[in-house]
Amino acid sequence: MPKKSKRGKKKPELNFIGGDMYVQGEISGLMRLGDKFFNKDTAFTIEERQLLGIHGLLPPVVRSIEEQVELCLMQFLEIESDLLKFSYMLDLLARNERLFYKFVATHLDKCLPIIYTPTVGQACLNAPTIYEQPVCLFITIEDKGHVYDVLKNWPQQDVRVICVTDGGRILGLGDLGAHGYSIPKGKVTLYTALGKVRPQYCLPVCLDVGCNKPQIRDDPLYMGLKRKRPSRTEYDEFVDEFMEAVVSRYGPNCLVQFEDIGNTDAFRLLTRYRFKYSMFNDDIQGAGVIALAGITSAVNITNIKLEDHRVLFQGAGEAALGIANLLLVALKTEGLNDNEARSRIWLRDSKGLVAYNRPQGHLTEYKLAFARRRLPIEKLEDCVREIKPTILIGVSAQYGAFTREVLELMALYNKTPVIFAMSNPPSKAECTAEAAFKYTRGKCIFASGSPSSPIEHEGKTYYTTQVNSLYGFPGVVMGATACAIAHLPPAVFVVASHTISDFCTDEDYRQYRLLPPLSKLCAIAFEIACNVVEYAYKNNLARRKPDPTDIRAFVKHQMYDCNYEPAIKTWLEEYNK
């Protein structure tokens, strides 16, 4: 008789003929090939095919994973549309998980712009036409009171990190409601592709609370709830229930990353939860990590001390305030007091310079921290004339906000102006690389939120930098989950930022690159993870005990390996659970 598992289910029998083992059970060979965690496609050996009952279901050729990757590349390059490439990657992930991550790791430069920015923005705008299979857990506000029951429907029981959005502010596209589901899916993909977090530990979630854009909500193809967003009280009760359900289902060590939440809600939720749960907001804190790393490199290139820079933000939302607050911490580390540090930071929003006495209306408490006591200034070019910033950071999602006049003024006041046009997707960027180099006469150091190719201007080649949070959050997530961090203080993000800038070389600086090349992303993520783990144990924030004697070995042991394991070994692990 087949023996029973601990859960009371019958286990398939293991039979032996001539010393060889074969599997007899209820799972058919076709079902095995349909399991993305188990499937190896044509990489199954002949012996594995016979043992697992899939012999004859595949063509007789046996290919290595490296050969499969090159076949994937051939197919990938034949696809002309980026959106169709995005769909191809989704299909590959749904069919063969290890091959997907091996392909991404091998051809990171080609895959990143497709699975992340800028193509993920197109995917959100075309959500109804590309949705084919479950890639995200949808929890609606109509599930209020039963959120835990919905969480239980996710097939993986050992979830250690969740990326959640409510679609309230997707990139620079605004409120897309449930159509923002591709964002958390893309983030958790990078947890594994770059940070090497095991994919079964990751859960993307879309909290559907409605959508306030009629053109989105009333579209016949809209897939979410066709209602407006709720009141603040109802919204907070729903998110509170979600966070409590996460702890009940997965335990207090489960890390939650909030992503692309509307500005007001994002700050409020971060304040509400940051010391109660293991959580962070990448749009606020992650933006600070990567921008501070870029600013640190700009300090090294311009030979101007950090405390001698003047930073003007075009935009005063999540990203701007996240960067400003982390920059404030860095300036204080340099020896400045609070008032001196704040005097180096200026914010401009849609109503002009953030100042106490401007006539345009009330300032939120988060903007008040950086408000100036001075006469209001409305236009950006007038702000540049008055402040004479050395660093101009765009996080406003207003295309073309850095006009010719603004860029020419930056070049007039600075030997080497630093220009960050960080808004995504490119259709929302404050300026293009071409405009930046043209109107600063090739003097500037330029960074953008999306990838940008080197620029030819007046016979010279100018390099750009992608200032994107993908440099930071995969390593932070890997480190935080590895040690089960209780909460993430600002120092964790400073640690991550310094780790990134430490990877820059003299050659990077000679080319005016503010960040290391994308080819180093996996190495950067590993070092960030190790440094976060070290910080957590030193400061009694790590819940996983005992303390590791070798932190690097401790982190490596928990990393995902995208190479195939022997199929029979994988099956036996499942059998013995």
Both tokens assigned to 368: 């008040």
Catalytic annotation on 187? yes
Cα separation, 21 vs 15, whole angstroms? 6
Tell whether residue 169 is among the known ligand binding residues. yes
Of 471, 491, 316, nearest to 393 (Cα)? 316
Per 3-state DSSP, what percentage of the chain is helix, strand, and coil (rounded to 5)?
Answer: 50, 10, 40
Tell whether residue 468 is among the known ligand binding residues. yes
Q: Kind and range of the H or E element at 17? A: strand 13-17
In terms of phi and psi (left: phi > 0; alpha: psi -120 to 50; beta: otherwise), the region of 347 is beta
Q: What sign for the dihedral angle of Cα 246, 251, 252, 258?
A: negative
Of 322, 237, 346, nearest to 493 (Cα)? 322
Cα separation, 470 vs 356, whole angstroms? 35
Q: Helix or strand or coil: residue 301?
A: helix
Cα separation, 80 vs 88, whole angstroms? 12
Tell whether residue 260 is among the known ligand binding residues. yes
How far is the CA of 178 from the CAs of 26, 206, 423, 428, 477, in angstroms? 37, 7, 21, 21, 24
Tell whether residue 283 is among the known ligand binding residues. yes
How far is the CA of 566 from the CAs of 38, 49, 57, 322, 427, in angstroms? 10, 11, 18, 45, 46
Catalytic residue among 40, 85, 101, 116: 116
Cα separation, 178 vs 167, whole angstroms? 6
Q: Kind and range of the H or E element at 192? A: helix 182-193
Catalytic residue among 40, 102, 187, 196: 187
**Residue 426 near residue 119, CB atoms below 8 Å:** no
Catalytic annotation on 116? yes
Gyration radius of the chain's alpha carbons:
25
Give the residue numbers marked as catalytic: 116, 187
Residues making up the annotated binding site are 169, 259-260, 283, 424, 468
Residues making up the annotated binding site for a divalent metal cation are 259-260, 283
Residues making up the annotated binding site for (S)-malate are 169, 424, 468
